[in-house]
Amino acid sequence: MGKKDSPFIFRGYWIEKVHQRQNWYAAHYDQRTGKCERQSLGTADQDEAEERLVALANASGSAEPTAVLADVMHSYLEQQLAGKPSYESTRGNMMSILNYWDPGTDVNSIDKAQVLQFVEWAHDELGLAPSTIGRTIRVLRAALNFGAIDVSWMCKARGLCLTDKGIADRLNVPEIVNPIYDPSDDEIVAFCEEAKRSPSLWRWTLIMLATGCRPQAAIEVGPKSVNFDTREINLNPPGRRQIEKKYRPTVLIPNFLWVRLETWAPIGRGKWGSQYCGYTSYHGLRSTFRRVAKDAGVPELTTYSFRHKIATVMRNARVPFNVAEYQLGHLRPGGTINSRYGSFELSYLDPAKTAIEEWWKSLRIDLEPEAFLARDSHGEDSELSKNGRKTGAGDEIRTHDPNLGKVVLYP
């Protein structure tokens, strides 16, 4: 139970039940710690709990009843979206919101004028496209609505059109600013050569080009995702709930990725366990990706460009349509009428794996040496590390990923 579902709210405090316990608890958002604090009211009777909550709120010197923006955002994210595919993207939208409004803002003070100013700010300062701005405002509206805040004014009838076209018209820019870019083979090569300088980005790139998966799925791939006996990779990490809309398939591993997986050790840890990539969120990846794409001379690239490239590769290789759909997660096993005549076998994806392997060979990208191997399993400097050149603050060559500390670059 959260604030929205609480039967009684007083001066920023509310009563709620915790973990199926009998007694009522008093809860409130502590701006000093940024957390929701709770304490037992020592009674299972609701009327008595409400009286004790009023006494507690008065004793604490709480001011007028307020709903803190950061509190509302956190509650909506954790109670409504935890475990859902939209969790990470929504968290990124919330970062933009809390970067503009102070986290301690009373949500009742947010009005139409402020939202329109946010639209201008997000476009001018953050460079966001109308579609991204629209989604961010819709996240704000959903969070406020979840927090039982009146959002009837956030509608077209009140002069606030939240559609992509409405925001584009207000900004006087095209509705589609950054369509998905389908790169050429030469642009793929240029990006890969530059990406080798960043351990996490290089690994993410190889996983993307070997599987055609979605960007977030590539981030979350780790040792537990790989079946080393059958050379399969489950793009849905153990513990993550599989969903219909963005299905994450199990696919065959092309040879160029397989030779790397045998030597890679995890360099990051996420919600589902150890990861081959060190990114904790999609937005960390996107930030590094944009810098590397610009340095490689292909700023038009997006994190989804590789997925579209693999779709193009399979189409050009005449991979059967249903096989390509399985590979990309657009079609799940048992999802067609033909499934009633026989079960799905992973070997059906051989044409997709072969097409990707043959395309990769044509690129002639050298996998050796990799741009990172700083320490061996015992924590000692390896021979490659001793002969390599470390980068970091003050050095001539720097890693593109600011979150990974020093890495090894070969002369």
pLDDT on residue 370:
53
pLDDT on residue 176:
62
pLDDT on residue 353:
95
Determine the Cα angle at 293 with ends 289 and 297, to 5°. Answer: 175
pLDDT tens-place string over residues 43-57: 999 889 888 888 887
Cα–Cα distance for residue pair 40/46, rounded to 1 Å: 13
Non-local (6+) Cβ contacts of 42 within 8 A are 23, 52
Residue ranges of the chain with pLDDT lower than 70? 1-4, 11, 30-34, 61-66, 85, 156-158, 175-179, 244, 333-344, 368-411
pLDDT on residue 273:
78
In the block, tokens 């290089």 appear at 202
pLDDT on residue 3:
64
Closest CA to 89 of 16, 14, 139, 34: 139
Kindly report the length of the chain. 411
Residues 37, 27 contacting (CB under 8 angstroms): yes
**Which residue ranges make up each domain of the chain?**
9-60, 69-171, 185-360
Task: Please report which helix (H) or strand (E) contains residue 250, including its range.
Answer: strand 250-252
Residue 260, CB half-sphere, CA atoms under 13 Å: how many? 24
| Residues 202-239: b if buried by 16+ CB within 10 A, e if exposed | bbbbbbbbbbbbbbbbbbbbbeebbeeeebebbbbbee
pLDDT tens-place string over residues 350-388: 999 999 999 999 999 887 655 444 333 333 333 333 333
pLDDT on residue 210:
95
With a pLDDT cut of 90, the percent of the chain lying above it is 29
pLDDT on residue 392:
37
Was domain 185-360 assigned CATH 1.10.443?
Answer: yes
pTM of the predicted protein model = 0.57
Non-local (6+) Cβ contacts of 222 within 8 A are 237, 266, 270, 272, 273, 274, 275, 276
pLDDT on residue 12:
72
